[in-house]
Amino acid sequence: MKKIIKYVLLDLLRNRIIIAFTLFLAVISFSVFNLEDNPSKGILSLLNLVLIIVPLVSIVFSTIYVYNAAEFIELLVSQPLRRVNIWLSIFTGLAASMCVAFLVGCGVPVLIYAPTDVGLMMTAMGLLLTIVFVAIALLASVLTRDKAKGIGVAILLWFYFTLIFDGIVLFLLFQFMDYPMEKPMVVFSCLNPVDLARILILLKLDISALMGATSAIFSDFFGSKWGMMATVLIMIAWALLPLWWSVRKFNRKDL
Amino acid sequence: MIIATNVTKKFSKLTALDDVSVTCTKGQTISLIGPNGSGKTTFIKCLLGMVVPDSGFITFNKQNIAHNWQYRSAIGYMPQIGRYPENMTIAQVLDMMKDIRKRSAGALDEELIHSFRLDGMMHKRMGTLSGGTRQKVSASLAFLFNPDVLILDEPTAGLDPLSTEILKEKIMKEKQQGKLAMITSHILSDLDDIVTEVIYMEEGKLRFHKSLGQLQEDTGEKKLSRAIAQVMSAGN
């Protein structure tokens, strides 16, 4: 398994898109920090980059990579190798190289200009989101045979997690305005890894007061040590469940 | 050596393989012939475990291949279209395969690499190679590990006549060592002198499995291409 990971990584790290993505992140991060004199303002500007662009690139690039590697996967499957190992190696390779790209492009500037709790939290959440969306991309690409459809599904999933889900939550909030919605909101946000990351970062930013009454419950739950641990575990589950499902599908897939 | 029993595979509505039973033994060179879409490639992929049959089973050396993966170390497979990571050079691809299959250098068969003159272009990236050169790499990989069974899917498609001849000689040499070779091809005349058995498939069904001598006797034709042409026209 180590060997397959090695070769997937070798292939990926020379990929132009990964290099371009790293440069893109680095340019934006450095310019944001140089434009603002207050580093925590810079963090706030980077927040959207981490919560929206990073998942988008992770999911779309991974899906396209898996489709383009179809023949290579076929070649590996015809060799004396376990299918589970092949699939997990591709996942590890993709997740590792996307994480390196994020770490170099965004993590390093953040840790240079704002080496605070918030900065650390944002880097950690960016890495977790990258892994989660690579896992979701693998699931999307194993479920659909057609490349165009697979990429469409990947983009739709990203749309759902970054925009549609929030819309649904807002809608529910307005519909049930007369009821206490604080506790259900905690459960709702667990259904979306992007929301979880956003809440954890915002709570560290001390602007959570802006969120009103819900925020009290949020900081009670997510701010405590146990709450944070639980949230990180839920994020990891968000990566592991799609991955496990995709492994099961890949094991029985006709190539 | 390879026994397929009542293998059936459906892709949604299309029946790619319909109750196919085949027995292949050591030392045979089998030609798998049939019109486009007759299920040849699907059958080969079933043998390799790349496609899972809906019903029926396949045994390799008396072991069921379902949920088994070690048996593939005895197979050399050359796919119809070989595509490799574009950023890797030929040398890296070869090294990767050696690395993955963990064979000591002594047991490797690098004859094809030399006779195809791949040595001189080891540093070229896979993405820049022509279709024919890629086929040569695929062929070299199939023979590299000295496997007991060779499965070649359209091996001569895209190869120039000289390389086709080299490949044919190589298959003959392996045949004399008692290896089982299974070849699909449309270009029948390429195969005439090396084939010992013919499997003819049509619409996912096995039409016949005969030795070459038997086929020649039945159709009264000396040349394989003519014999097959006669069978095909008789079927319509």
Is B92 part of the contact surface with chain A (CB cutoff 8 Å)? Answer: yes
Per the CB < 8 Å rule, is B50 touching A255? yes
ipTM of the complex: 0.80
SS3 string, chain A, reads: CHHHHHHHHHHHHCCHHHHHHHHHHHHHHHHHHHHCCCHHHHHHHHHHHHHHHHHHHHHHHHHHHHHHCHHHHHHHHCCCCCHHHHHHHHHHHHHHHHHHHHHHHHHHHHHHHCCCHHHHHHHHHHHHHHHHHHHHHHHHHHHCCCHHHHHHHHHHHHHHHHHHHHHHHHHHHHHCCCCCCHHHHHHHHHCCHHHHHHHHHHHHHCCHHHHCHHHHHHHHHHHCHHHHHHHHHHHHHHHHHHHHHHHHHHHCCCC
Is B92:B110 a contact under the CB 8 Å cutoff? no
Q: Which residue of B has its CA nearest to A86?
A: B100
Question: Rounded distance, CA A169 to CA B232, Å?
Answer: 64
Widest pairwise Cα distance in chain A: 62
* Under-50 pLDDT residues of chain B: none
pTM confidence score: 0.86
pLDDT digits (tens, 9 = 90+) for B65-97: 888 888 888 899 998 887 787 778 899 888 888
- The DSSP 8-state label assigned to residue B90 in this structure reads H
Per the CB < 8 Å rule, is A11 touching B85? yes
Residue A78 reports pLDDT greater than 90: no
Question: Rounded distance, CA A186 to CA A180, Å?
Answer: 12
Domain boundaries, chain B: 2-235
- Residue of A14, A71, A81 with shortest CB distance to B100: A81
Q: Calculate what percentage of chain B has a pLDDT beyond 70.
A: 95
Residue recorded with tokens 């880097």? A123
CATH tag, B2-235: 3.40.50.300
Domain boundaries, chain A: 2-251
Residue A136 reports pLDDT greater than 90: yes
